[in-house]
Amino acid sequence: MRSTLYAVLWCALVAAAQCSFQKKCSKLARELQVKNATVWFSEFVAAGTNLSFPDTDPSCGQASLVVNVDFCRVAVYVATSSRSGISMEAWLPSDWTGRFLSTGNGGLNGCLSYDDMAYAVELGFSTVGANNGHNGTSGAPFLNNPDVVEDFAWRSVHTNTVVGKQISQAFYHRKHKKSYYLGCSTGGRQGFKSAQSFPEDFDGIVAGAPALDFNNLNSWSGHFYGLTGPVGSPTYLTPEQWNAVHADILAQCDGLDGYVDGILEDPEICQYRPENLICPPGASDTSANSSTCITGTQAGTVRAMFSDLHGSGGALVYPRMQPGSELLGTPYIYYAGTPFSYSADWFRYAVYNDPEWDPATLGPDDYAFSDALNPSDIRTFSGDLSAFRSRGAKILHYHGQMDQIITSAISPRYYDLVARTMGLPSSALDDFYRFFRISGMGHCTGGPGAASIGQGRAAAASLDPDQNVLTALVRWVEKDEAPDTILGTAFSGDGEVVFRRRHCRYPLRNRYTGEGDPQDPDSWECIL
Ligand SMILES: *[C@@H]1O[C@H](CO)[C@@H](O)[C@H](O)[C@H]1NC(C)=O
Ligand SMILES: *[C@@H]1O[C@H](CO)[C@@H](O)[C@H](O)[C@H]1NC(C)=O
Ligand SMILES: *[C@@H]1O[C@H](CO)[C@@H](O)[C@H](O)[C@H]1NC(C)=O
Ligand SMILES: *[C@@H]1O[C@H](CO)[C@@H](O)[C@H](O)[C@H]1NC(C)=O
């Protein structure tokens, strides 16, 4: 009783605006009418709340996070077919800029990107995220259900965006002014899928480390196990040997950009020769962990890892792993001597519908079969962005040059495909599509380079559009000021700024001028 009275007084006198926002939010669940949708709840979340996600699949690894603005949280289920649907949330800030933003997913998941949602809602976007049609990180829900695959391939992001815009409009009683997308990895692929197939959905897209040419990507990411064999095979290298390979790559290629700092500005120009590391006659046991030299057989493994993958007809399946990321991947991922789980799941549950399929048998016939099958047209490798371009939308593409999961070599390959398909040189592509190569960045984030470019909340060194891909995109869309470079920041483990460097847009590459402090961005230049 007393608390009700207090609430009434508080609403009347102290914080009327916030109070009416709260009321509007709690009413939304009852009033919202969306086709095929069930609204679970709408609840006010006060700035500083430590949100936890007890209903989220534990494999998503999202325990809790603190959001620093007031917002209305809405949770909805939308049926996408009689046997599939998406779980989505809309986060609607009290201090709304009039902008809408949709987030993407990662790997084969199944997990709302709550961190990206927190980032965007704090910046005043009405923000949505969805579970991509299934829960958790495993591909098992694809088994014998092409509708769940369809959600994963394109329908979750598109539905989430269409429904999210409706929810935003119902809540604020006006339409959003501009619509944005932010995603990396699978999220980067989802961004390009939107640009290719749903050009009306977004005015601006940030697409990082995109999982382009998705069928072939899974063949490529699965093929490393065939190169290394299991741990202990003659073809397998120990983590210590990968250390030696990495050091040798730097010895051969680090100076190509004019400055030796452990970072290859342009790994494309590194043609690494592993035969340099072959043990001299009489060297001690080369399979021991302490070994820093390798056998001729192991040099064959290394050379194959850094070579393009071709199929049985000789056609390119996927471009090579870029040299330089070995330590970010060691002893994990492609160097671990174990099958790569995303690739194994994709073939088992989406391609063959056979949970017993053995990833050790992966070969050229599987590459050809899966690419021809192309479930739900997931490929995402169309070079035609003309519909996206003609409505004035913009795409900002970035890729870490030390990506240990999706080779950065796929990104220039796609950019060049767009150039050929649309018949446009970079001077014209620059009007709507810009691609930045981020040296020293791992997969979406991390790495020793100036890898904080605003691609996520933890990687936002600054909101200055010269230093932040998201605010740069907003400036580009709304003021037609396109980013020429992206100024990245490198942090030490304890959060100190180590250096900053400007990343160039493709096809330009970054080079130390040879003069001035190499830690100073002005000592570097973008050259052709
Ligand atoms: C948020 O709550 C979780 C428990 O649900 C706790 O582990 C975490 O430390 C809290 N975070 C902060 C910043 O207080
Ligand atoms: C996913 O989890 C949500 C709870 O977070 C649940 O409502 C939904 O039914 C689940 N979806 C599937 C496909 O299991
Ligand atoms: C509603 O669901 C049905 C299948 O259950 C589907 O055919 C239809 O396209 C959906 N409508 C919308 C607006 O998503
Ligand atoms: C090499 O290291 C692995 C773990 O990385 C360990 O299991 C193995 O026993 C080591 N072998 C030798 C010869 O030290």
Domain regions of the chain by residue span? 15-174, 177-212+380-487, 216-343
Cα of 285 to ligand 4 centre, how many Å?
13
Residue 96 has pLDDT above 50, yes or no: yes
158-186 pLDDT, tens digit per residue, is 999 999 999 999 999 999 999 999 999 99
Residue 323 contacts residue 270 (beta carbons within 8 Å): yes
Q: In the chain, pLDDT over 70 holds for what percent of residues? A: 95
Selected residue with higher pLDDT from 422 and 13: 422
Instruction: Give the chain's mean pLDDT.
Output: 95
156-172 vs 186-197: helix crossing angle, rounded to 10: 80
DSSP letter (8 states) at residue 71: E
Ligand 2 residue neighbourhood (C-beta within 6 Å): 55-56, 87, 131, 134-135
From the CA of 330, the nearest ligand is 4
Ligand 1 pocket check: which of 52, 62, 68, 457 to mutate, most ligand atoms within 8 Å of Cβ?
Answer: 52
d(CA 145, CA 100): 31
DSSP letter (8 states) at residue 434: E
3-state SS, 478-519, equals: HHCCCCCEEEEEEECCCCCEEEEEEEEECCCEEEECCCCCCC
Selected residue with higher pLDDT from 291 and 127: 127
35 lines ligand 3 (CB under 6 A): yes
From the CA of 240, the nearest ligand is 4
Nearest to 182 by CA among 86, 116, 89: 116
Residue 2 has pLDDT above 50, yes or no: no
3-state SS, 97-127, equals: CCEEEEECCCCCCECCCHHHHHHHHHCCCEE
How many other C-beta atoms are found inside a 10 Å radius of the C-beta of residue 134?
26
Cα of 231 to ligand 4 centre, how many Å?
10
Ligand 3 atom nearest the C-alpha of 80 is 2
- pLDDT for the residue numbered 18: 78
Bridge-based pairing of strands 126-130 and 84-93 is antiparallel
- pLDDT for the residue numbered 503: 98
- pLDDT for the residue numbered 196: 98
Q: pTM here? A: 0.94
Residue 313 has pLDDT above 50, yes or no: yes
d(CA 317, CA 86): 32
Strand-pairing partners, residue 39, are 76
DSSP string, 449-484: SS-BSSSSSTT-S---TTT-HHHHHHHHHHH----S
Q: Could you give the C-alpha distances from 218 to 29, 234, 323, 445, in angstroms and in order?
A: 40, 25, 19, 21
Nearest to 505 by CA among 420, 423, 411, 422: 411
406-444 pLDDT, tens digit per residue, is 999 999 999 999 999 999 999 999 999 999 999 999 999
Q: How many residues does the chain have?
A: 528
User: Worst-scoring range by mean pLDDT, 1-5, 212-216, 288-292, 435-439?
Assistant: 1-5
How many other C-beta atoms are found inside a 10 Å radius of the C-beta of residue 208?
30
Q: Which of 185, 219, 221, 291 is catalytic?
A: 185
